[in-house]
Structure 1
Amino acid sequence: MDNNPWSAVRALFLAVLVLSIATLAVAAVVGGTWVVWLRGGAVAVAAAWLVALAGQAARGRRPAYVRIRFVSLAAPVGVVIILLAPDSGYPGWMKAEQAVVGVLVAAVAFLVNRRSVREAFPKRGKLS
């Protein structure tokens, strides 16, 4: 398996960004609630930020890698909570969109948490 996952990670985050923008377009057409607009906007902004972080991580910046690693583990948990909440205020179509986002971000978690990738970003003082 390739030890440099950053083009795949960037593509996954770009897919999240495109999907989030499409979600906002759907909300504009169907009349989304404030919850839909808030979540959709926040995910779009976060995805744009994560695309930028993926570029930094590809250039070897450990802080970018650590942030991506944290978000890729935490975000799917948040998505599961949204999907399981009985009255979260999210319409079914947005829950479906969030499920796809969760799968995309979980794929990032799989890529960036492999041993070979972790070893490429050693903690300070652990350089060989």
Structure 2
Amino acid sequence: MNARSPHPAPLSHERLNHPRSLAAFRTTKLLATGYLAISVATLAVIALLRNNTSAVNDAVWTRGGFVVLSASVTCLCAARAARGSRGAYRRLRILSGVMVPVIALIIALPGTFPLWMKTDQGLCGLVLLGIVATVNGKHLRELFAGR
């Protein structure tokens, strides 16, 4: 017989609206929105510089589109986690945790991306580090642990 653990109890309204929870969710949503704003602005710059082959190549277009998608999912997950979704919280932790080393790799790759894009990615990485620190903090981990 397959012994599955029972689903954790739903988050209580009281714990979800605790001042520490609200502050953590507010910080996470603010950082995620900032990540999305930077990403959309970057894609706009890519479009404006599209005829400058030294500033925009195929890798820049691909990365720019992927970052907007990633930032959109990050914002969605942050909003859903703030409403108590354990799945969204888990996806937020995974996505933000994976994107930081990916950005570090992009910055370290020689020649693939222009300096302006690496600088932009560094800024996105710093914002994502804030998200990683917040969602992996003790309070939110305990909140979503199902105790």
Give the structure-1-normalised TM-score.
0.89
Q: What is the alpha-carbon distance in structure 2 between the residues aligned to residue 25 and residue 55 of structure 1?
A: 25
**Structure 2 match to 1:104:** 127
Paired with 1:16 and 1:30, the residues of 2 have a C-alpha distance of 21
Partners of 1:70 and 1:8 in 2: CA distance: 18
Identify the match of residue 84 of structure 1 among 101, 108, 132. Answer: 108
Of 33, 46, 49, which residue of structure 1 is paired with 2:57?
33
Instruction: Trace 1:8-47 onto structure 2 (pairs within 5 A).
Output: 8-31=27-50, 32-47=56-71
- What's the Cα RMSD here? 1.4
- 1:67 and 2:85 correspond: no
Deviation at 1:51, TM superposition (A): 0.9
Computing the radius of gyration from Cα coordinates, the structure with the larger value is 2
| Aligned-residue offset at 1:22 | 1.1
| Partners of 1:41 and 1:11 in 2: CA distance | 21
> Aligned letter for 1:18?
A
Give the partner amino acid of 1:42.
F
Offset of residue 3 of structure 1? 3.3
For residue 80 of structure 2, give the secondary structure of its aligned residue in structure 1: helix
Matched, 1:6 2:25: yes
Deviations along 1:25-72, one digit per CA (max 9) or x if unpaired, are 111222221111111111111111211111110111111001111112
Unaligned runs of 5+ in 1: none
Gaps of 5+ in 2: 1-18, 51-55
TM superposition outliers: structure 1 runs of 4+ over 2 Å? 1-4
Structure 2 contact 20–139 (Cα < 8 Å) conserved: no
Could you say which structure has the greater relative contact order, defined with CA pairs below 8 angstroms and 6 or more residues apart? 2
Residue correspondences, number: 123
TM-score when normalising by structure 2: 0.78
